[in-house]
Structure 1
Amino acid sequence: MLSYAIILTSVLVLVSLLMNVWRILRGPELPDRILALDTLYINSIALIILLGLHNGSALYFEGALLIAMLGFVSTAALSKYLLRGDIIE
């Protein structure tokens, strides 16, 4: 029963990922695209964690943690670039 719930949740997260990609491609402004990219990496973390639960392996959780750290840094860098025009002062 748990495997069916994980598969259903994975399909719903994949639909969410596709909607994020649509927003990145069709976003009217740059802040919309940055927000969609931020949501995209959060949804990819959820998908990796669901895959780890399905396979019963703890390695997926470490990969999700790595993506979370890189996603946070990239979102902060893109936001700073959007506000100031440069990343490193």
Structure 2
Amino acid sequence: MIGWAVWFALGCFGTALLLCLYRVVFSPALTDRILALDTMTINVIAALVIVGIADGTPVYFEAAMLFAMVGFIATVGFAKFLLRGDIIE
């Protein structure tokens, strides 16, 4: 039963990733693209956690934590670039 739930969840997150990718490519505004990239990061983190649950190894949870930290820094960098036009002062 858990196998079906894992595959269903991975399918849902895969669909969400494709929809976010569509939004990144065909978005009218830069802020929408940044938001879609941040949502893609969250979906990848969730997919990694689900694969870690299915596989039973803690490696995927550590990878999800690293991906979350990098995604947060990237989102903050994009937001700072939009506000000031410069990342490093």
User: What TM-score bracket applies, with the shorter chain setting the length?
Assistant: over 0.9
For residues 9-48 of structure 1, what are the alpha-carbon distances to aligned partners after superposition, in whole Å with 9 as ceiling and x for unaligned? 1101000000000000001100000000000000000011
Which residue is equivalent to 1:31?
31
Query: How far off its partner does 1:53 sit?
Result: 0.9
Structure 1's consecutive aligned runs of 4 or more residues displaced over 4 angstroms after TM superposition are none
Counterpart residue type for residue 53 of structure 1: I
Query: How far off its partner does 1:54 sit?
Result: 1.0
RMSD in angstroms over aligned alpha carbons? 0.5
TM-score under structure 2 length normalisation: 0.98
- Structure 1 unaligned segments of length 5 or more: list them: none
Correspondence 1:17-28 to 2 at 5 A: 17-28=17-28
Query: How far off its partner does 1:2 sit?
Result: 1.0
Counterpart residue type for residue 43 of structure 1: N
Partners of 1:54 and 1:17 in 2: how far apart?
20
Identity of aligned residues (%): 45
Query: How far off its partner does 1:70 sit?
Result: 0.3
In the alignment of these two chains, the number of paired residues is 89
Partners of 1:34 and 1:25 in 2: how far apart?
11
Partners of 2:28 and 2:50 in 1: how far apart?
32
Partners of 1:87 and 1:72 in 2: how far apart?
15
- Structure 2 unaligned segments of length 5 or more: list them: none
